[in-house]
Amino acid sequence: MASNTAPEKQDERISQTPYAPSQIGEQAPSVMREDDLAFPRAVGTISGAVVLFGGMALAMNLYGYNRVIDTGWSLVVLVLGLAGLLYHSAFDRDIQFRRLYMTFGLASLLLGVVLAFASFFKGYEQTLPWSIPLLMLGVMFFLCFRRNETDEKVRDTVQYIVGGAGVTLGLAGLLPAILYETFFLPTGFVLSIAGLFLLAAYVGASGTSDDRAYTVSLGTAAGGVLVFLLVLIRSLFTANGSTFFVGTGFPMLLVSLGYVLVGLGLALDWPLFVLTRRELAAFFLSPVAYMSLLAFSLFAWISFLFFVTRFQNRVIPEPVLAIYIIDLFPVFVLIFVVPVLTMRLLSEEQRSGTLEVLLTAPVDEPVVVLSKFIAGLLTYLIVWLPFALILLAIPAAGGKLFDYRPMSSFFIALVATGAMFISMGLFCSSLSSSQISSGVLTFVGMLLLTFVYFIVNQSGRELSVILRHISYLHTWSSALEGRVVLRELLFPLSATVLFLFMTVKVLESRKWR
């Protein structure tokens, strides 16, 4: 009997492919293939040779045997080689390579800890600047190893070493400074920040779903609260408390507050903290933060070279920080970096259509805006790290230590003005779904705020007083002299609140369209 059903035909094109179901069977959802490691391994091989060359040139310079490649270029070659090795370690899962990088990372980490503690002893103070890059390098190799390691026992052991180093550095940087106020700047400050960085890496590697990582994050916050209280007691109830607070206590309060915020930010699952972690991950899983860091690092290096050349064989006048920071290069990079950091915050959400999903979630518009603002501000402060780290090389280049105390007042001014920049960029990002348009608007705003500095002295007496409060460069200059003038912070803080309020209103209007 004839059938009206069309006979089933096999597509010859599908049957001839190497992944045809008849040949490999059912492997839903898709066939998994290993990444091609030819390019990463080539980069790793070349980078290894570059590291050996740069390391030998640097060692010969330090011992006075090399005059062909100076110390600066030797460091540049060494850093480029290490960057290539990090790239290779992030992709190659072969057990030989990942264990090799594990050993290298642990050696860098332990050597950094040894050099950090060696700076406690007289005659070895210059070892402190060398410990910081070694600690950072060890953490980065640890994160790459942690990503690729399959043996849970080995992975956990290395992670415990990193966490233990973080606890050790944090305690060594904060507790002695309560008794010996001259210890904290710069030694205690550097050690405590390095310890916080290692603890954050330990928690971030596992996530707070792991019980041990969750406990460490809460312990970090509790340690920050304890140091905060001890500093207040020392400042309020001792004979020289006021002197201690001005020189050491206030910077210690800022660092202890950082421990509290990092610990709670990693541990709590409140909507604000969850969304902030989401935004920070979006920054550092894209090239935006790294390109900004690279630009700031490059210009920080150039600025430092000009600074050293300018005062070569001369005594550097105080305040050193004012001469180093208020310069063409940091301001020039800042004008471009702020639009790059902020142009995607809300524009990308609008373009991809995820803003509607976010606004229908059980979170309010202020929480969404605040989470993006906090993540942008934290990234902005992280981008400034190259300038802070290069400061460690100034005593070695100038032959003597300088007054580090203006760093505390400058940090306050940097946070206040940075909050104004990020909130302005966030508001511009809420106005358009185009990142280019948002970036251009923020760039124009940065140009106007910078231009105010150059017309202050050209204006009348009354107008110049107003413009001086608007100019963020005047605020920086005052802070770098060690003064925190609240009326100079009033404009950036007020502008921050205004921009955030307008951003919330823009989102509310979009929600009901």
Domain ranges in the chain are 39-92, 94-268, 270-513
Distance between first and last Cα of the chain: 63
Question: Model confidence over 456-494: pLDDT tens digits?
Answer: 878 777 888 888 889 998 898 888 877 778 888 999 999
Question: Model confidence over 50-88: pLDDT tens digits?
Answer: 999 988 888 887 777 766 777 778 888 888 899 899 889
For residues 396-421, give the mean pLDDT: 77
Q: Is 68 helix (H, G, I), strand (E, B) or coil?
A: coil
Cα–Cα distance, 216 to 149 (Å, whole number): 22
Cα–Cα distance, 289 to 201 (Å, whole number): 17
User: Worst-scoring range by mean pLDDT, 293-297, 397-401, 469-473?
Assistant: 397-401
Structure tokens at 497: 């609140």
For residues 10-38, give the mean pLDDT: 56
Question: Model confidence over 259-274: pLDDT tens digits?
Answer: 999 999 888 888 888 8
Cα–Cα distance, 318 to 335 (Å, whole number): 27
Structure tokens at 269: 């699952």
Cα–Cα distance, 395 to 401 (Å, whole number): 5
Return the pLDDT at 398: 47
123 conformational bin, left if phi > 0, alpha if psi -120 to 50, beta if neither: left
